[in-house]
C-alpha cells in the first residue's frame, strides 16, 4: 500500500514567496535584491514589554502593507506565538529549520488577520545554546532577502539568547520601563550592542499621574541616563492585558490608545514624520484638568 | 477607555470573558508544551499504538508517522500508519474491548472517529439459571 | 547547617522575583530571623538596588567563588534590620557562566551556616543562571502574575523544579481585583488551577511599589505601604503558620473601598 506521511502543513502556512538558499553569492552584474531591515527588540530586564512590542509593531508595520516576519529568539520560553494568538498554529520552529527538518517556508506561520505578517516560532523543548550564532545570522540574512522587516524578539538577559538575537540585527529597539532596575539593565545592554547597531528607545508603562506626584521616573529622567533617540512612550493601560488574554494584540484595535501609539511608532520606523507618541493615562476628569493647567508637556 | 467599554459589552452579550478565553488557551498551550517536552512518553505511546494495531494488521513502521495537531477545541494525535496486509484472525485471540486515549486516529489517511472501539459482544451465560448480558457500548 | 535555603524563581522576567526576595527577606528579618539574600543574576544584578545597598558593595559572589575574598567579606549588611539582613551581591560585569552549579551550591551551603534563611533571587529563564540559583536550594517559591505568558513560563519552571525534586509554593503577584471582578484578568484560583500549585501568597498590583524599589526601601519599613503586611503574612506562612487568604475582588459596593485592606 502507498506510504503516507502526515506532514502537518496547513495551506495557510505556505506564503506566496520563495525562500532561497543563502549560499550562492550575488554576482556583480546582477542587481542586488532589496534587503529588508533587521531590528532586534531587546531590554536586558525581563517583563518590560519586548514581546508585546515586537508583536504590535509587527502588526502595525504589516498593516501598512510591508512584508514582515517576526522571529522569536526566546528558545525554551517562547511567548511571541501566545501574544500574537497564533500558538495553536505553530508546527515547526527555528531549530527545525536550522537542522534541516523542514523548510523555512513551511515553518513560517502566516497571520490570517494581517496577511503580510509571518511568525517564525522558537523551540519550546530546546535551549538557547542550541543555536549557533552563525546559523542565526544565516537565517536572518535569508529572511531579509524576502521581507521588508525582520523583527527579532530577544529574550531577557545578556547571555547566548540575547547574543544570537542581536547578531544579525542592524537596528535595535530597546524597551525600558520607568524603574531604576530597568534603566540600569538597558544601559548595560546598550553598551553590549556596540557601534554597529542603531539604537532607539521605547519607554513603556509610564503613568503620568504618578510621574506628576513624583512617584515614578519621567521619560526625561530615564533618557537623561540612556541618552537615546526616543521612538515613543507607551502607557500602562489594562487593554494590553485583555489583548494578551485573547491573543488579539492592541495594534489590531482601532479603539485602543495603546494600539494607536504602536501604529505611530511603526510610522516613525517607516520614516514618516510623525511625532513620537506620549503616554496617555486613562484619567478621571479632575486629573485631566490638572494636567491641562499645570502638568508636564 | 472605549475599548474597555467594548470589552464589557462583549461579555454582557454572551461572548466569553477575556480571562476565560485566556484560561482555555493556556490549557491547550500547556498541553502542547508538555507533549513537546515528553518525547519518551510519546515514544511509549507510539510503541503501544503499533503493538495494538499490529495485532490486526501488518504495518510499515518505518514509514509511519505520529504527530500532534491543534484542533478547534483541543489537541489531536494524528497517526499515519501504512498497512501492508491483514493478519489472519484467530477466534481465541480476539481481545477484549480496549479504550484508547486518542481523540482521533488516522489510519492510512482515513480519519476514524471511533478510535478502535469495538462494540462489546453480547454474551449469554448460563450461570445459576440467570442469564447475564453485557451492556452494549 | 541550620538555614532554610529557598530559591525565588519564575521563568518569566519582570514578574517580581527580586521585589519578592527583598521584601520577604526584610519581613523575615523584621520578625527576628537572620536572613541572607543571594543575587544569582550575574551580569544584571538588581537585588542590591532594590534594597538600596548598591553603593556599599565591595566584593561579589564571583569574587568569592574565585577565592579573591572570604564569604563574610562579600556580605553587605542592611543596617536598618540590625544584624538580621545581609545580601551577597552578584557581579555586574561578568556572565552567568562564571560560576558553576557546584560552586554556587557550595556558597549557599557556606551561607547556610551563618543564618536562618538563605533566599536566592533567581534570574529569569531556565538555563544556566536558573540552574545555578536552584543548585543550592532545598525549596522554591515560584512567582507569577495572572497573565498568560507568565503562567506559561511558570509552568515550565515548575516542571524543572519537579525534575529536581524541589518542593515549591506559589506567589501570585500583581493581581488587580477590579479586573478579576470584570473577567478581564484571571483569578488567583484560575492560576492555581492551571499550575496545580500550592499557594503561599497573593500580592495585589500596586504601581507605587515601583517607587519603593526605586528608593531602595523595603515595604515593611514604610508604614504607608499596605503591601508590607502582605509580605509579613507570607513570611509567617513560610514559618508554618496557617493564615487564611483574604479573597480579593469579591465585589460589592464597598468592595473597592475595602479592597485595599484585603489581600494576603
* Interchain CB distance below 8 Å, B25 and C148: yes
Residue of C nearest to A84 (CA): C149
* pLDDT above 90: residue B69: no
What is the nearest CA distance from B90 to chain A, expressed in angstroms?
A: 24
Report H helices in A33-88.
Answer: 50-63, 80-84
User: Taking CB atoms and an 8 Å cut-off, how many pairs form between chains A and C?
Assistant: 118
Q: Residue A149 domain-assigned?
A: yes
Q: Which residues of A touch C153 (CB under 8 A)?
A: 77, 79
Total domains present in chain A: 1
Are C184 and C177 within 8 A, CB to CB?
Answer: no
Q: What is the mean pLDDT of residues B31-43?
A: 84
pLDDT per 10-residue tile (average), chain A, 297 residues: 39 44 46 80 95 98 97 95 94 94 96 97 91 94 96 94 95 96 94 94 95 93 95 94 96 94 97 86 47 42
* Best B18, B26, B31, B32 residue to mutate vs chain C (most C CBs within 10 Å): B26
What region, left, alpha or beta, does residue A14 occupy, with left being phi > 0 and alpha being psi -120 to 50 degrees?
A: beta
Q: Which domain holds residue A222?
A: 35-294
Sorted by where each begins, the domain ranges of chain B are 39-87+97-114
Task: Please indicate, yes or no, if residue A148 is contained in any of the structural domains.
Answer: yes
Q: Can you read off the three cell numbers belonging to residue B132?
A: 447475564
- Chains meeting B at 3+ CB pairs closer than 8 A? A, C
Interchain CB distance below 8 Å, A88 and B70:
yes
pLDDT interval class at C237 (50, 70, 90): very high
Look at residues A254, A211, A255 and name the one whose alpha carbon lies nearest to residue A233.
Answer: A211
**Interface contact C192, partner B, CB < 8 A:** no
pLDDT digits (tens, 9 = 90+) for C151-162: 999 999 999 999
Domain assignment present for A22: no
- Enumerate chain A positions whose Cβ falls within 8 A of a Cβ in C: 44-48, 51, 76-77, 79, 82-83, 127-129, 155-159, 161, 178-181, 184-185, 188, 207, 210, 215-217, 236, 238, 241-242, 244-245
Nearest 5 degrees, angle CA C242-CA C145-CA C78? Answer: 70
Closest CB to C124 among A82, A157, A241 = A157
Q: Tell me the mean pLDDT in the region C199-226.
A: 89
Verify whether the Cβ–Cβ distance C207 to A128 is below 8 Å: no
State how beta strands B65-70 and C35-39 pair: unpaired
Instruction: Give the separation between CA A213 and CA A215, rounded to whole angstroms.
Output: 5
Contact (CB<8Å) B17/C194 = no
Per-residue model confidence (pLDDT) at position B95: 58
Record: fold of C6-261: Rossmann fold (3.40.50)
CA distance B40 to chain A (A): 13
User: Is it the case that residue C259 has pLDDT exceeding 60?
Assistant: no
Closest Cβ opposite residue B67 in set A6, A242, A282: A6
Q: How many CB pairs under 8 A join A and B?
A: 70
Q: Beta strand C168-175 with C139-144: parallel, antiparallel or unpaired?
A: parallel
**Measuring CA to CA, which residue among A202, A171, A138 is closest to residue A37?**
A171
Please tell me which chains touch C, using 3 or more CB pairs under 8 Å as the contact test: A, B
For residue A259, being part of any structural domain is answered with: yes
Rounded to two decimals, the pTM is 0.82
Query: Across the interface, do B60 and A6 touch by the CB < 8 Å criterion?
Result: no
Mean pLDDT taken over chain B? 73
Q: Which residues, other chains included, contact C39 with Cβ-Cβ below 8 Å and sequence gap of 6+?
A: C18, C45, C46, C47, C48, C61, C87, C88, C89, C90, C121
Separation CA C96–CA C129 (nearest Å): 5
Give me the residue label for grid cell 522571529: A71
Establish if A27 belongs to a structural domain. no
CA distances from A245 to A8, A219, A270 (A): 27, 28, 29
Provide the CATH number for the domain around residue A257: 3.40.50.300
Amino acid at each position: 500500500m502507498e506510504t503516507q506521511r502526515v506532514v502537518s502543513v496547513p495551506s495557510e502556512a505556505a506564503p506566496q514567496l520563495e525562500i532561497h538558499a543563502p549560499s550562492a553569492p550575488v554576482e556583480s552584474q546582477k542587481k542586488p535584491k532589496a534587503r529588508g531591515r533587521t531590528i532586534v527588540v531587546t531590554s536586558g530586564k525581563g517583563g518590560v514589554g519586548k514581546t508585546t512590542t515586537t508583536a504590535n509593531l509587527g502588526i502595525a508595520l504589516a498593516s501598512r502593507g510591508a512584508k514582515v516576519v517576526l522571529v522569536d529568539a526566546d528558545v525554551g520560553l517562547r511567548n511571541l506565538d501566545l501574544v500574537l494568538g497564533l500558538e495553536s498554529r505553530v508546527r515547526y520552529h527555528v531549530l527545525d529549520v536550522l537542522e534541516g527538518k523542514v523548510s523555512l517556508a513551511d515553518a513560517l506561520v502566516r497571520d490570517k488577520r494581517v496577511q503580510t505578517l509571518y511568525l517564525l516560532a522558537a523551540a519550546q523543548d530546546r535551549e538557547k545554546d542550541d543555536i549557533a550564532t552563525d546559523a542565526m545570522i544565516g537565517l536572518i540574512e535569508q529572511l531579509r532577502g524576502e521581507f521588508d522587516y525582520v523583527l527579532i524578539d530577544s529574550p531577557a538577559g545578556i547571555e547566548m539568547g540575547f547574543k544570537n538575537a542581536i547578531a544579525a540585527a542592524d537596528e535595535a529597539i530597546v524597551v525600558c520601563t520607568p524603574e531604576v532596575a530597568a534603566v540600569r539593565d538597558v544601559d548595560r545592554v546598550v553598551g553590549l550592542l556596540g557601534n554597529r547597531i542603531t539604537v532607539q528607545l521605547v519607554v513603556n508603562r509610564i503613568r503620568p499621574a504618578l510621574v506628576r506626584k513624583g512617584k515614578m521616573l519621567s521619560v526625561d529622567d530615564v533618557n537623561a541616563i540612556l541618552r537615546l533617540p526616543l521612538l515613543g512612550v507607551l502607557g500602562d493601560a489594562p487593554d494590553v492585558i485583555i489583548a494578551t488574554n485573547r491573543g488579539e494584540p492592541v495594534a489590531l484595535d482601532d479603539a485602543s490608545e495603546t494600539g494607536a501609539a504602536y501604529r505611530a511608532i511603526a510610522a516613525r520606523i517607516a520614516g514618516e514624520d510623525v511625532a513620537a507618541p506620549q503616554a496617555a493615562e486613562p484619567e478621571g476628569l479632575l486629573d485631566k484638568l490638572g494636567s491641562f493647567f499645570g502638568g508636564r508637556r | 477607555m472605549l475599548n474597555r467599554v467594548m470589552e464589557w459589552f462583549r461579555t454582557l452579550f454572551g461572548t466569553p470573558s477575556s480571562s476565560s478565553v485566556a484560561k482555555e488557551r493556556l490549557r491547550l498551550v500547556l498541553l502542547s508544551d508538555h507533549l513537546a517536552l515528553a518525547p519518551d512518553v510519546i515514544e511509549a505511546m507510539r510503541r503501544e499504538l503499533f503493538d495494538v494495531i499490529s495485532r490486526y494488521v501488518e504495518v510499515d513502521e518505518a514509514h509511519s508517522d505520529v504527530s500532534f495537531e491543534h484542533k478547534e477545541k483541543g489537541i489531536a494525535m494524528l497517526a499515519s500508519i501504512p498497512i501492508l496486509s491483514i493478519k489472519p484472525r484467530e477466534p481465541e485471540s480476539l481481545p477484549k474491548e480496549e479504550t484508547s486515549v486518542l481523540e482521533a486516529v488516522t489510519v492510512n489517511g482515513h480519519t476514524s472517529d471511533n478510535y478502535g472501539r469495538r462494540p462489546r459482544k453480547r454474551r449469554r451465560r448460563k450461570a445459576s439459571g440467570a442469564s447475564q448480558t453485557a451492556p452494549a457500548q | 547547617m541550620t538555614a532554610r535555603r529557598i530559591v525565588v524563581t519564575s521563568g518569566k522576567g519582570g514578574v517580581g522575583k527580586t521585589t519578592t526576595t527583598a521584601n520577604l527577606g526584610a519581613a523575615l528579618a523584621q520578625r527576628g530571623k537572620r536572613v541572607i539574600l543571594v543575587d544569582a543574576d550575574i551580569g544584571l544584578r538588581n537585588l542590591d538596588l532594590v534594597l538600596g545597598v548598591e553603593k556599599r558593595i565591595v566584593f561579589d559572589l564571583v569574587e568569592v567563588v574565585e577565592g579573591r575574598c572570604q564569604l563574610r567579606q562579600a556580605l553587605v549588611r542592611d543596617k536598618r534590620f540590625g544584624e538580621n539582613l545581609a545580601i551577597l551581591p552578584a557581579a555586574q560585569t561578568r556572565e552567568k557562566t562564571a560560576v558553576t552549579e557546584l560552586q554556587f551550591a557550595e556558597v549557599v551551603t557556606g551561607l547556610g551556616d551563618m543564618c536562618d534563611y538563605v533566599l536566592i533571587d533567581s534570574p529569569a529563564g531556565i538555563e544556566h543562571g536558573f540552574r545555578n540559583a536552584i543548585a543550592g536550594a532545598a525549596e522554591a517559591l515560584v512567582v507569577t502574575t495572572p497573565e498568560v505568558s507568565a503562567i506559561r513560563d511558570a509552568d515550565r519552571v515548575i516542571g524543572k523544579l519537579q525534575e529536581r525534586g524541589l518542593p515549591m509554593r506559589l506567589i501570585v503577584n500583581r493581581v488587580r481585583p477590579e479586573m478579576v471582578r470584570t473577567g478581564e484578568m484571571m483569578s488567583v484560583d484560575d492560576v492555581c488551577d492551571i499550575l496545580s500549585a500550592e499557594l503561599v501568597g497573593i500580592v495585589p498590583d500596586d504601581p507605587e511599589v515601583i517607587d519603593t524599589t526605586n528608593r531602595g526601601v523595603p515595604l515593611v519599613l514604610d508604614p504607608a505601604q499596605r503591601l508590607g503586611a502582605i509580605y509579613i503574612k507570607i513570611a509567617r506562612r513560610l514559618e508554618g503558620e496557617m493564615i487564611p487568604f483574604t479573597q480579593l475582588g469579591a465585589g460589592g459596593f464597598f468592595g473597592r473601598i475595602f479592597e485595599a485592606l484585603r489581600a494576603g
